[in-house]
Amino acid sequence: MRYAYAVDDVRSAEAALAATLPPGTLMERASAGMAAACLRLLRDARGGAYGARAVLLVGSGDNGGDALFVGARLARRGVRVAALLLSERVHEAGLAALLGAGGRVTGSLDELDAADLVLDGIVGIGGRGGLRPEAARVVRRAEAGGALLVAVDVPSGVDADTGEVAGDAVHADLTLCAGVLKPGLLVDPAAGCAGLVEVVGIGLEPLLGAPALEVLDAADVGELLPEPGRESDKYRRGVVGVSAGSDAYPGAAVLCAGGAVRGGAGMVRYLGPEHAGQAVLARWPEVVVGDGRVQARVVGPGIGEPDDGVRELVSRPEPLVLDAASTRLHALVGGSALLTPHAGELTALLQADGVEVRREDVEARRLHWARQAAARTGSTVLLKGSTTLVVSPDGRARANPTGTSWLATAGSGDVLAGLAGAFLARGLDPFDAGACAAWVHGLAGRLSSGGAPTDAGRLLDAVPEALRRVAAGQRS
């Protein structure tokens, strides 16, 4: 499991730790780790660091100070380091260290064209809003050159807490995160600016409270998903009721039922229009058509606007996955529920609840609005999209690390809802079921795509392999 912490919590932990150490120790730790990473990059890129050219983009705060101290360490290893000071204020001790180590200050943007490495120390967790125009101009020039662009702590211009990018931002190849991960680095659009993310430890961990965001790995998913024991029969492994598809969209029923079958439910019951039910049976003969006892239910994929029959199903006590337009029935939920909207559906859900919000706002501040929706509905919210987030009403949140943009394909969400239903039926709570379903779905998407377009059928076919890898991760 990886954890990301809110900026306020990072600052409190830093202050508490700094109070126990000689002044400057934390910056020294951070810059030592970051310099080591930069030296490694230069070795990989050009065989060695000696004689390489590095340009530092230096802002007014401690983020600029970090960059200057890193620059000083690189200069001592024979890197030719020049600092572009982008503000009238500068971290004095950092600048003195750079100059003392043989680095220099430059006013020429031309140096960016010949650089091997550009270090972005414009702003870190103290940044507000996007890059200022002058900094944006410098950054575009740096990005146009062939240098590796390494962000100190966070790519400048992104919101470290929310992942929002309000204006221009750095697009880094690598982000060296000081101390601990910040949530914004895991959530689009900011995640798309961060490149690879590496944490440089400075000893904060023991002083931190609850994380703001979690990221599961294969072993976590393996531990959360129970393997059937010797005593298991189909009923104990969990029965899922699938209410999906319509005369207009029978395929949604087939794909959702497929997600439930492949997700390892002991049995799948299908309840829906006769034509869609026949299509389900043709593809999944193991599905039982008709009402009956279930341990969990999936309601909504491809059914369009819900009718009274759907409302009645939602009010039953079993754990429930609510998808598509049916997410707006959250107030009727009789048990616990996982809502699985995409940004448009989440917008409609919030608007129906009296919130003035547009789809662009939801996409720009995904974590914020998923939290709002979970708190307002009292249900766990799985917000699908470029970063899939799962947020529980108590505020716990997970960002999904697997997936590919090729998963944005028709029917992909129906499979996801079916998988989540299977995991609910296998006994997971909505938060774990949602996070595991997104994880497995994302890995299956990657396996079936291999970098090329995929489709919902191949996605379903890759689910068993994804689950095998999860099981292997659990044992390792």
Ligand X SMILES: NC(=O)C1=CN([C@@H]2O[C@H](COP(=O)(O)OP(=O)(O)OC[C@H]3O[C@@H](n4cnc5c(N)ncnc54)[C@H](O)[C@@H]3O)[C@@H](O)[C@H]2O)[C@@H](O)CC1
Kindly tell me which residue out of 18, 37, 105, 325 binds ligand X, with binding defined by CB under 6 A: 18
Instruction: Decide: helix, strand or coil at residue 153.
Output: coil
C-beta of residue 179 within 8 angstroms of C-beta of residue 155: no
Q: How many residues of this chain interact with K ion, rule: CB under 5 A?
A: 6
Q: Is 361 exposed, middle or buried (0-12, 13-18, 19+ CB in 10 A)?
A: middle
* Residue ranges in 44-103 that form contacts with ligand X under rule CB under 6 A: 59-64, 66
Burial 42-63 (b: 16+ CB within 10 A, else e): beeeeeebeebbbbbbbbbbbb
- DSSP secondary-structure letter at 207? G
By CB under 5 A, residue 152 contacts K ion: yes
Q: Is 238 exposed, middle or buried (0-12, 13-18, 19+ CB in 10 A)?
A: buried
CA 332 remoteness from chain centre: 30
Q: Which two tokens stand for residue 457?
A: 């059928």
**Given CA atoms 411, 417, 420, 425 in this order, what sign does their dihedral have?**
negative
What is the rounded CA–CA span in Å between residue 427 and residue 319?
9
Return the number of the residue (102 or 129) whose C-beta is nearest ligand X: 129
Question: What's the one-letter identity of residue 405?
Answer: S
Minimum distance between the CB of residue 2 and ligand X, rounded to whole angstroms?
A: 19
Residue 93 known to bind ligand: no
What is the rounded CA–CA span in Å between residue 212 and residue 397?
7
By CB under 6 A, residue 126 contacts ligand X: yes
By CB under 6 A, residue 129 contacts ligand X: yes
Return the number of the residue (157 or 319) whose C-beta is nearest K ion: 157
What is the rounded CA–CA span in Å between residue 290 and residue 26?
63
Kindly tell me which residue out of 14, 116, 214, 318 binds ligand X, with binding defined by CB under 6 A: 14
What is the rounded CA–CA span in Å between residue 68 and residue 226?
50
Return the number of the residue (203 or 228) whose C-beta is nearest ligand X: 203
By CB under 5 A, residue 156 contacts K ion: yes
C-beta of residue 219 within 8 angstroms of C-beta of residue 438: no
* Residue ranges in 96-135 that form contacts with K ion under rule CB under 5 A: 120, 124
The entry of ligand X, K ion, none that residue 128 binds, CB within 5 to 8 Å by partner kind = ligand X
The entry of ligand X, K ion, none that residue 306 binds, CB within 5 to 8 Å by partner kind = none
Query: What are the backbone angles phi and psi of residue 410, rounded to the nearest 5°?
Result: -55, 135
The entry of K ion, ligand X, none that residue 257 binds, CB within 5 to 8 Å by partner kind = none
What is the rounded CA–CA span in Å between residue 228 and residue 382?
26
Half-sphere exposure (Cβ direction) of 163: Cα atoms closer than 13 Å: 29
Residue 327 known to bind ligand: no
Phi and psi based region of residue 203 (left: phi greater than 0; alpha: psi -120 to 50; beta: remaining): left
The entry of K ion, ligand X, none that residue 129 binds, CB within 5 to 8 Å by partner kind = ligand X
Return the number of the residue (132 or 371) whose C-beta is nearest K ion: 132
Nearest-CB residue to ligand X? 124
Residue 342 known to bind ligand: yes
What is the rounded CA–CA span in Å between residue 60 and residue 134?
14
By CB under 6 A, residue 168 contacts ligand X: no
Kindly tell me which residue out of 26, 314, 333, 362 binds ligand X, with binding defined by CB under 6 A: 26
Minimum distance between the CB of residue 57 and K ion, rounded to whole angstroms?
A: 8
Kindly tell me which residue out of 152, 322, 346, 357 binds ligand X, with binding defined by CB under 6 A: 152
By CB under 6 A, residue 27 contacts ligand X: yes
The entry of ligand X, K ion, none that residue 126 binds, CB within 5 to 8 Å by partner kind = ligand X
Return the number of the residue (189 or 264) whose C-beta is nearest ligand X: 189
| Residues near K ion, by CB under 5 A | 63, 120, 124, 151-152, 156
Residues flagged as binding site: 62-66, 120, 124-130, 153, 156, 252, 302, 342, 384-388, 413-414
| Residues near ligand X, by CB under 6 A | 14, 18, 26-27, 30, 59-64, 66, 123-129, 131-132, 135, 152-153, 178-179, 202
Residues flagged as binding site for AMP: 384-388, 413
